């Protein structure tokens, strides 16, 4: 259990973005492409765990002083640094293996996205997280790389509107996380927070949320036609999901998107309804 906690398995929910190109290209029931995407999901999940482990090793001493992070396996002493390094090496090898199984080529574009994600996030852990704006941009890049990686695996193009929706939504989540870190722990809890203030983050996060909803609506309109405009009915559901998310982060929350989603049954229900509706509209 302590190793699964170290791997941050529950954060794998973010890696389901890899399935979006498969779903929206109407290829979900292609057994070959589905298997490729499952392998890609596992590959990206393992490489993301490597990133989390490296970050926890780097921030061990800081995490010991944090209200919640002190309970992480490395900070609390449940897992030694040597054990963490061995586990991260094994996960790295497994990530490369599943990436190869997805495409059957040693050198490929998918590997580029995988290593790009790893390198950017290692650089984030070792200093870039203290650079204002760049810290949030790197958080956003992780979401975009997931989408591009998923599309590359099955060789499809990512819709420009979908790309813009994910980008704006990711900025909203990243800015919201920083804002709530200031609210909960103050500006001194993280170096980069000294460059931000709550008012700035609040205004820009809601600007990005507005953009995300507009881009999603434009994408839906582009995907719909006069005979089938059922996708339009997903827009109110998306707005409701964000409204409930806003309510959560406006309350007593650290702003971590994964924690917010897992901790709210209403959001989970709305997301499930959205997924079911999308599947019915696209595939039935």
Instruction: Give yes or no for residue 185 having a pLDDT over 80.
Output: no
For 32-41, 163-172, 255-264, which range has the lowest pLDDT when averaged over its residues? 255-264
36 phi/psi in degrees, rounded to 5 = -60, -45
Residue 189: per-residue pLDDT: 65
**Span 26-64, pLDDT tens digits:** 999 999 999 999 999 999 999 999 999 999 998 887 877
**Span 225-245, pLDDT tens digits:** 644 678 888 999 999 999 999
Q: How confident is the model at residue 187 (pLDDT cuts 50, 70, 90)?
A: low
Residue 91: per-residue pLDDT: 96
Q: How confident is the model at residue 207 (pLDDT cuts 50, 70, 90)?
A: very high
Q: How confident is the model at residue 17 (pLDDT cuts 50, 70, 90)?
A: very high
Q: What is the mean pLDDT of the chain?
A: 90
Higher pLDDT, 34 or 186: 34
**Span 54-101, pLDDT tens digits:** 999 988 878 777 777 778 888 888 888 999 999 999 999 999 999 999
Q: How confident is the model at residue 188 (pLDDT cuts 50, 70, 90)?
A: low
Sign for the pseudo-dihedral over CA of 134, 91, 95, 41: negative
Instruction: Give yes or no for residue 9 having a pLDDT over 90.
Output: yes
């Amino acid at each position: 259990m302590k190793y699964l906690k170290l791997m941050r398995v529950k954060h794998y929910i973010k890696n389901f973005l890899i399935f979006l190109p498969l779903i929206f290209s109407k290829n979900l029931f292609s057994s070959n492409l589905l298997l490729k995407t499952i392998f890609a999901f596992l590959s990206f999940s393992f490489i993301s765990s490597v990133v989390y482990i490296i970050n926890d090793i780097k921030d061990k001493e800081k995490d010991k002083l944090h209200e919640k992070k002190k309970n992480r396996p490395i900070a609390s002493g449940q897992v030694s640094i040597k054990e963490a390094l061995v586990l991260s090496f094994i996960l790295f090898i497994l990530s490369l293996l599943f990436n190869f199984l997805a495409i059957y080529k040693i050198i490929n574009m998918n590997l580029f996205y995988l290593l790009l994600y790893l390198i950017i996030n290692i650089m984030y852990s070792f200093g870039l997280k203290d650079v204002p704006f760049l810290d949030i941009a790197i958080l956003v890049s992780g979401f975009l790389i997931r989408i591009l990686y998923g599309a590359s695996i099955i060789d499809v193009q990512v819709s420009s509107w979908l790309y813009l929706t994910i980008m704006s939504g990711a900025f909203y989540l990243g800015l919201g996380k920083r804002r709530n870190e200031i609210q909960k722990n103050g500006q001194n809890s993280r170096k980069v927070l000294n460059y931000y203030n709550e008012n700035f983050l609040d205004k820009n996060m809601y600007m990005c949320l507005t953009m995300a909803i507009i881009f999603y609506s434009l994408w839906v309109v582009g995907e719909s036609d006069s005979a089938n405009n059922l996708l339009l009915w997903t827009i109110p559901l998306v707005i409701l999901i964000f409204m409930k998310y806003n309510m959560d982060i406006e309350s007593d929350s650290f702003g971590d998107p994964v924690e917010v989603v897992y901790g709210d049954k209403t959001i989970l229900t709305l997301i499930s309804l959205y997924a079911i509706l999308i599947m019915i509209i696209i595939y039935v």
